[in-house]
Amino acid sequence: MNKTNKYATWGQWIFAILIVSILATIYAAQTGLTRAETGLTVLLFACAAISIILSLGLLALLLQANKALKENEQEVIRLQQRESDHLQKKQQIVSETGQHTEIFKVDEALERIMPAAGTHFNSAAACAEKLLQNIAKELDIVQGLVFVLNDADQQFHISGEYAYYSEEQPRSFPLGETLSGQVAKNRQLLNVKKMPDGYITVLSGLGKSNPHHLVIAPIVYNDESIGVMELASFKPFGENEEILIRQICESTANLLNELRSLS
């Protein structure tokens, strides 16, 4: 920009000299001068010619400088756009990497929770209780229940318990009744993020306490709910925990269906 201003100033001076030279030449031609004066006129005309040549040269320089300035501006814009694209791509890679890491951790947790291949269970209750114990280690649940469908009366009966405290056994329920029955009917996980006090009670050596977070998940086999899992915690269940619980139920469905048919 400074060079352009400098060239413009030079152009103004040369243009002024050019005008003066042309005017002097015209005046000499019209007034009829002596030989000496005529020689001076020729000199002025030569100066005018030189001024024209210099003006054309300066004009070329100005055009070249202006072109270079525009190219520099365009290059700056390209660099800024390239930097912006690079930053967006980097953020996308970080986001995708984080997402893959989370999914990988869910797969690792699922492997630790599910019984090893070839593990033998004598009943659905034994399988359910082992599953709840493993889930408690991984998700810090403070209470868990697994209900299994009885084909004879079409009721979901308690099959496995973890840290359940009550003088009465958990009540059975049919499809569509109570929160658990509705989850079985809809075949959709339910994440209750604020349970009222007293809804669930956990007993420990320190006394009684009430967890406020509950997940109820259906165990579906061949598009039919054959079981329901209830998990309570003092901490909220996030999206990754929901994914993990769904995968646990999907992985358990086939084994649980075989075991309940033996009962």
Q: Which of 37-46, 150-159, 239-248 has the lowest mean pLDDT?
A: 37-46
Q: Which of 40-54, 187-201, 236-250 has the lowest mean pLDDT?
A: 40-54
Claim to verify: residue 42 and residue 139 sit in the same structural domain: no
Claim to verify: residue 256 and residue 194 sit in the same structural domain: yes
pLDDT at 207: 43
Query: pLDDT higher for 151 or 30?
Result: 151
Claim to verify: residue 147 and residue 69 sit in the same structural domain: no
* 197 in a structural domain: yes
Claim to verify: residue 84 and residue 127 sit in the same structural domain: no
* 225 in a structural domain: yes
* 159 in a structural domain: yes
* 50 in a structural domain: yes
Question: How many domains does the chain fold into?
Answer: 2
Specify the residue for token string 């400074």: 2
> Over the stretch 125-144, which tens digit does the pLDDT of each residue have?
999 999 999 999 888 888 89
Which of 73, 91, 109 terminates a domain? The answer is 91
The answer to whether 160 and 145 have CB atoms below 8 angstroms apart is yes
**CA–CA distance, 160 with 177 (Å, rounded to integer):** 20
Region for 37 from its dihedrals, namely left if φ exceeds 0, alpha if ψ lies in -120 to 50, beta otherwise? alpha
pLDDT at 95: 45
Specify the residue for token string 């082992």: 130
Task: Tell me what the mean pLDDT of segment 86-98 comes to.
Answer: 51
Claim to verify: residue 162 and residue 252 sit in the same structural domain: yes
pLDDT at 212: 80
| Residue 42 pLDDT > 50 | yes
Domain range for 219? 123-260
* 102 in a structural domain: no
Highest mean pLDDT of the ranges 56-65, 96-105, 188-197? 188-197
Claim to verify: residue 146 and residue 49 sit in the same structural domain: no
Identify the CATH number of the domain in which residue 221 sits. 3.30.450.40
Residue 60: pLDDT band by 50, 70, 90 thresholds?
A: confident
Claim to verify: residue 6 and residue 83 sit in the same structural domain: yes
Task: Tell me what the mean pLDDT of segment 31-48 comes to.
Answer: 59
Which of 91, 108, 137 terminates a domain? The answer is 91
* 54 in a structural domain: yes
* 111 in a structural domain: no
Claim to verify: residue 15 and residue 133 sit in the same structural domain: no
Q: What is the pTM of this model?
A: 0.59
Task: Tell me what the mean pLDDT of segment 203-216 comes to.
Answer: 64
| Residue 245 pLDDT > 60 | yes
Q: What percent of the chain lies above the pLDDT cut of 90? A: 32
pLDDT at 94: 45
Claim to verify: residue 60 and residue 144 sit in the same structural domain: no
Nearest to 219 by CA among 253, 181, 185, 243: 253
Specify the residue for token string 């030189």: 50
Which of 67, 91, 115 terminates a domain? The answer is 91
